[in-house]
Structure 1
Amino acid sequence: MTSASPLVAATDIARRDPQHGRWLLHPASLALHGGERLSITGPSGSGKSVFLRALALLDPLDGGHVEWHGKRVARAAIPRYRRSIAYIRQRPALLDGTVEDNLRYPFTLRAYRDLQFERERVASLALQAGRDNDFLDRRASELSGGEAQIAALIRVLQLDPEVLLLDEPTASLDPASSHAIEGLIGAWFDAGTARDTARASVWVSHDPAQAERMSERHLSMQAGVLDEAPLISLDRERATR
């Protein structure tokens, strides 16, 4: 069930290439409600990552605006907005040190000083992802690509964001790691539902089958243009492969 008013609403947000002036993202609008799981598919270079970063207000907009809980996000509110609207990129960077060092790092930042690190909680999240008890003690430099992505996802989930913007989080990962990450996202949604907490996600994927598993609403992107597309199109795309 989705909430009546959107958590996040983008109105005609747009991005240009700062060097050449061409449109990377043509004016795009989106309303994302609590309880909604959305996917975006499209070819490489079509602007999917550009759109997610613009929606997360990580890059300056060349047009349009973003509203959060019905209010336009002012410059001073961007740090709080980014705390709640979390962008998770493909192959995220980890710091030197252990997995636990990486999970503790956000709590050293001003935006999260009101929260406390809970080792039992992150250990439980790691267990949900099929990681052993020693996972938190492992060196980040020793992790496989899938394990590094799991650590990065736990680092975000422990902060209880309202919205996850997932930029191909399982690309180039083995099936077991991909399944673990999908499971973590599913558990995060279920936990929000159990606590009656509004949560939503946008999952960018090249895999139509995964997009269908991880969403109830589908958008497609071509040459920087965002379009609504029915989920049935994913079945057709698979059938033609």
Structure 2
Amino acid sequence: MSPIIRFDRVSVIVHEKTILSDISFTLFPGEKAVLCGKSGSGKSSVLRTLLGLHPIKSGTVYFQEQPLTPSSVQTVRSCTAYIGQEPMLGAESVREALLLPFQFKTHRDHKPTEAQLIEVLQRLHLPADILRQESSRISGGEKQRIALARGLLLGKKLYLLDEVTSALDAESKQAVFDVFSDPQLTVLSVAHDPEWLERCGIVFELEAGRLTQVKRNGNT
């Protein structure tokens, strides 16, 4: 099996400051990995680099064994659901936010039914009547789960998650854990939550932009 993501000695410099230095790791389909470390250690920068939001100074990022280039980055983005701490839902109501991607030609023929919308909300412990609510009036934790629901409706297989459990209560967090127990989903995340770290098969520890330790299933 080929890795879905591979960083090969990647260094990134932004505004003359090195934010990632000589980073190398691989992630295979179905694996769940978490980037951890102090604030400013480069965790979110790894996600942003994969999405083509930071220029690579040296080294190569591979996605499905193809080098990341300005032209290939669209392939990464089309396969990926990125969910940050405060997702932008891009529509006035929750229903409109969930259906927004299905207005475009690529997804127009796969518009979910009302039953499918409600089913995915239930999986994430969200009530059906949230569909009528304004996006601006729901909590940060609800926005994260709506963004996750949209990724699931689109059939995304790779999830880049930035502190997605930070605003969730125990019940909602368990619902997110349950969703990502699916072996078909690949996860590269940023988190400080000890429960999330325990659930991930791989822990990448960063310090000052360097990968200092890799733990797999509890082993270094």
Instruction: Please give the TM-score of this superposition, normalised by the length of structure 1.
Output: 0.81
CA distance in 2 between counterparts of 1:94 and 1:71 reads 30
> C-alpha displacement at 1:102, in angstroms?
0.5
- CA separation of 1:86 and 1:131: change in aligned 2, threshold 3 A: closer
Pairs within 5 Å for 1:183-202: 183-186=178-181, 189-190=182-183, 192=184, 199-202=185-188
Match of 1:116 in 2: 110
Counterpart residue identity of residue 170, structure 1: T
Shift of 1:145: 1.9
1:17 maps onto 2:11 in alignment: no
In the alignment, structure 1 residue 226 sits paired with structure 2 residue 211: yes
- Residue 77 of structure 1, CA deviation: 2.4
Structure with the largest fraction of helix = 1
Match of residue 2 from structure 2:
5
Looking at structure 2, the residues matched to 53 and 145 of structure 1 have their Cα atoms a distance apart, in angstroms, of 21
Q: Which TM-score applies when normalising by structure 2?
A: 0.88
Residues 1:57 and 1:93: Cα distance change in structure 2 (over 3 Å) = same
Q: Secondary structure at the match of 2:71?
A: helix
Q: Which deviates more, 92-101 or 115-124?
A: 115-124
Q: Which of 29, 32, 55 lines up with 2:24 in the alignment?
A: 29
CA shift for structure 1 position 113:
4.1
Aligned-pair Cα RMSD in Å: 2.2
Deviation at 1:233, TM superposition (A): 8.0
Once residues 27 and 43 of structure 2 are traced to their aligned partners in structure 1, the CA distance between those partners, rounded to angstroms, is 16
Matched, 1:204 2:190: yes
Partner SS state of residue 6, structure 1: coil
Match for residue 137 of structure 2? 142
Q: Gaps (5+ residues) in structure 1? A: 193-198, 235-241
**CA distance in structure 2 between the aligned counterparts of 1:106 and 1:58, rounded to whole angstroms:** 21
- The offset of 1:114, in angstroms, is 5.8
Deviation of residue 169 (structure 1)? Answer: 0.9
Residue 81 of structure 1 is aligned with which of 60, 76, 79? Answer: 76
**CA drift at 1:173:** 3.1
Give the deviation of 1:223 after TM superposition: 0.8
Q: Percent identity?
A: 29
Partner of 1:167: 162
| Equivalent position of 1:93 in the other structure | 88
Aligned residue number for residue 239 of structure 1 = none
Query: Is the 2:51–2:73 Cα contact (8 Å) retained in structure 1?
Result: no
Q: Compute the displacement of 1:61 (Å).
A: 2.0
Deviation at 1:11, TM superposition (A): 1.4
Give 3-state SS (helix, strand or coil) of 1:75's partner: coil
Give 1:146 deviation, angstroms. Answer: 1.5
Alpha-carbon distance in 2 for matches of 1:127, 1:201? 21
Q: Which amino acid aligns with 2:207?
A: Q
Residue 55 of structure 1 and its aligned partner are, at CA, apart by: 1.8
Q: AA paired with 1:45? A: G
Kept after mapping to 1: 8 A contact 2:84/2:144: no
Structure 2 CA distance for partners of 1:64 and 1:109, relative to 1, 3 Å: farther
CA contact (8 A) 2:2 2:64 kept: yes
Provide structure 2 residue ranges, at least 5 long, that are not aligned to the other structure.
none
Instruction: Give the 3 Å change call, closer, same or farther, for CA 123–175 of structure 1 in structure 2.
Output: same
Q: Which amino acid aligns with 1:203?
A: S
Is the Cα–Cα contact under 8 Å of residues 146 and 178 in structure 1 kept in the other structure? no
Cα distance in 1 for partners of 2:14, 2:55 equals 11
Letter in 2 for 1:160: G
